[in-house]
Every structure is written in structure tokens, then in C-alpha cells.
Structure 1
Amino acid sequence: MTATHRRAPNVTGSLCSVSDLTYPPTVRRVTDLSQQLVDDATAILDSALDGDGVGVAQAFDTVVDRSGLAGAYEVAWCLAATMVGDGPRGSGAALDFPGIDQAGYDTRWVARFVSAYANHDQDAGEALFGAAVADGQLPDCLATLAGSTVATLRSRAQ
């Protein structure tokens, strides 16, 4: 794909929710997010949509350089919001992850992190993020989160 044909997500809502896959990215009704956060999430998803793992890593590195791990956490939480979308969320939300117990660290992490978002459990999200940092797994977890978000968006677009 060329840059002119790339399909990037629209980031909308009070958190990052994606309405469709179109280019150029547009932002509507953003109330709780800074424009920089939305731009960071969009850059990461643009790279992931292009299959550019190096670009995803560089975009996250840029966030960390500018805003530290707190900024990377905010972008990751935004990506989780994009995956969950505008559906109902709340205590006890059940997400189906078949075979998750046999999956790698990064895949299990993404399932748990997205579940934390879906259940409004920011404490669990922060604990998972901190554990990934402590375990030296954060870069792989964030790359998998970006890839999973893109896969979810593509699935919704079909």
C-alpha cells in the first residue's frame, strides 16, 4: 500500500473509539483526550495498519521520550478503548479469549489489559503495565496490542 491508499482509523469519542477505517484520520467529539494523545494513537495504528513493526516501536518510543511511561500507558489505554469500541462496559464484562492460557506473555497481557479497560479497572491496567515493564516485556506487549487493535478494526470493517 502506498501512503495515499493507507487506511487509518478515525479516533472518536470521550476515549479512543474507532468508527471506521478511512483515510485521512479525523477526530470528532474528543473531550477527555489531548490532541497529542490522539495523534500518538493514530500514528501507532497507521504503522500497524501498514504492517510496520519498526514504525510501531518508534512511535511508542517517541511517546516515551516525550511523556515517559505514563504517556505510553495512556496510549495503550486508548488502544484498548479502540478495541472495546462503543459497546457496553462495566463491572463483570466478559471477553472471550479462546486458548489464552496457552498463548505467549504478550498475548495474555493484551487480553488482560483489554479486559481491565472493559471493566473500568484502571488499577488492574496500571498493575499489568507495571508488570510488563518489570518483566522487560513492555515493547512486545505494546506491539501485540497495536496489532490486535488493527485486527479488531479490520474485523469490524468486514
Structure 2
Amino acid sequence: MTDVPQETLDDATAVLHSALSGDSEAVVGTFDAVVDRSGVVGAYDVAWCLAATMVPDDVPRGAWTLDFPGIDQAAYDTRWVARFVSAYANRDADTGEALFGAAIADGRLPDCLLTLAGSVVATLRSRTD
């Protein structure tokens, strides 16, 4: 990611620290504070930054398909995270924004953001194993 405001990086770091310690309330609290300060766009920017954490810098962007057997049977938040990270990997901000908007409309954004944070933690931990 380039040209990310320091405030967004700080918020993403706070989410990751909370998620790494297993503090779901703090993850939600950080996102709530971001929304209060910067609106939904701010929360989207933090989520996009978290997605960037899951996709290695050396992975070529723009030609990836979602390979997730059973994706249609997965829980809403799991499907959302898989599709959101896929949108990031493909540099498809329009799809990322559409997914964000759909989660808001469905009343599921907090669950999706918690699952995203947990997925980032799982990814980071798997890289250290």
C-alpha cells in the first residue's frame, strides 16, 4: 500500500494489537472510534489496510480468482472477508467498496470487521510457524 495516512496505519495497528491479544471489544471500539472521527470511509480505509497485511507485497496484483471450496456455504462474515481480501489482491477497490456497503446494509459490518481482524491475525501467525 502506498500513500496511506499515518492515522489509518495507526488505527490498523491498534486493531491488530487488540486482535492479537484476543480483545474483540477493543477491535470494535477502535473501528467505532474511526467511524466517529472519519466516518465509514475511515473504517473502509482501515479494513483495506488490514487486507493489505494479508497479501504479501511480492504477489502480483490483478489476476486472482477466489479459490475457496464451499464459499457459498460459509458464514456471511467468512464469505465477506474472502471476497474483500480477493478484491484487495485484484486492486479492485470498487468491489471492496460494494462489499463494505453491502455489509452495512445487511447490518453485518461489525461481524465482518471482527472476522477480518481475526483472519489477519491467523495469517500473521501462520507466517511465523
d(CA) in 1 for partners of 2:43, 2:29 = 12
Are 1:53 and 2:40 matched, yes or no? no
| TM-score between the two structures when normalised by the length of structure 2 | 0.95
1:53-80 per-residue CA deviation (whole Å, 9 max, x = no partner) reads 1010001001001000000000000000
Look up the SS of the partner of 1:97 in the other structure: coil
d(CA) in 2 for partners of 1:101, 1:86 = 28
Higher relative contact order (CA 8 A, sep 6+): 2
Say which structure is richer in strand.
1
Aligned to 1:12: none
Cα distance change of structure 1 residues 153 and 95 upon mapping to structure 2, 3 Å threshold? farther
How many residues in Structure 1 have an aligned counterpart in Structure 2?
129
Q: Report which of the two structures shows the higher radius of gyration computed on alpha carbons.
A: 1
| TM-score between the two structures when normalised by the length of structure 1 | 0.78
Aligned to 1:73: 44
- Alpha-carbon offset, residue 124 of structure 1: 0.4
Gaps of 5+ in 1: 1-14, 16-30
Are 1:43 and 2:41 matched, yes or no? no
Gaps of 5+ in 2: none
Equivalent residues of 1:89, 1:120 under 8 A apart: no
- Detail structure 1 runs of 4+ shifted over 4 Å in the superposition: none
Say which structure is richer in helix.
2
Q: CA RMSD in A?
A: 1.1
Describe how 1:1-158 pairs up with structure 2 within 5 A: 15=1, 31-158=2-129
